[in-house]
Amino acid sequence: MIDLKRNIKVILVSPRDGTNVGAVCRAMKTMGLNRLEIVKGKELDILRVATLAVHAKDVYDQAVFSDSLEHAISDSVLSAGITRRRGKWRKYFSLTPEELARKIIDTGNGTISLVFGNEEHGLTNEELSLCNLAVTIPSSPQFPSLNLSHAVQIITYIIYRESIRAMGGMGNFHPIDHAELKKLTATVTDCLEEIGFFTLTGKDEMGRFIRDIFARALLDKKEAERVVKIFKKIRGLKSRRRS
């Protein structure tokens, strides 16, 4: 069974209210989680945090504070942005919480980051683009917006429920982390650029597309190395033809 306490990290981007953060801490602890990271967070009223956290204030006390989301997810083998909004720049599709839970169980080893936007606007396009996956909690189209702590509770409960159903483990499977995924994507897109692939296609958009495919595939280090060799060989073949 996946070690939830060690593997799952909840990231809050620019939270505004201490009571919401306190409620998030309580939601996390009821599901066996204690890794909380707050990105670009303003100074919160500790009393308001403690009031809603009740006996889970220790989750907040040991929280990590970061200046950027990219830094916060840099140690992650998988990062999922929780969002209700869709659009051209907000991923090609989104997973349900159940699909996310199964993906996490399949991932096995490594840090998995659950990324939540602030209470008012959620995740921006740029913030969501940094995540490997988008996840949407089904809700009424007449009133689709969930409270931050409620969203955290739903996602973490489903992950907890699915994890206790799972049997066995992933053995020695170690998927590449966010930094390695970023490097792999850059290598592939650079090779494609050198062979003239981007005459009509945008490199940045294609890079995001390729990165998301690699993330869903959960490549391990050896597989990533093999992908790099394939694209470097393609680049070499193109160079020899020119000469």
**pLDDT given at position 198:** 83
What is the C-alpha separation between 234 and 97, in angstroms, rounded? 38
Q: Do the beta carbons of residue 223 and residue 180 sit within 8 Å?
A: no
Query: pTM for this one?
Result: 0.74
68-78: b (≥16 Cβ within 10 Å) or e: ebeebbbebbb
> Quick one: CA dihedral 95, 123, 81, 33, positive or negative?
negative
DSSP 147: P
CA–CA dist 147, 223 (Å, integer): 40
Q: What's the pLDDT band for 118 if we cut at 50, 70, 90?
A: very high
- Cα 194 to chain centroid distance, Å, stands at 30
Whether residue 169 has pLDDT greater than 60: no
pLDDT class of 156 with cuts at 50, 70, 90:
very high
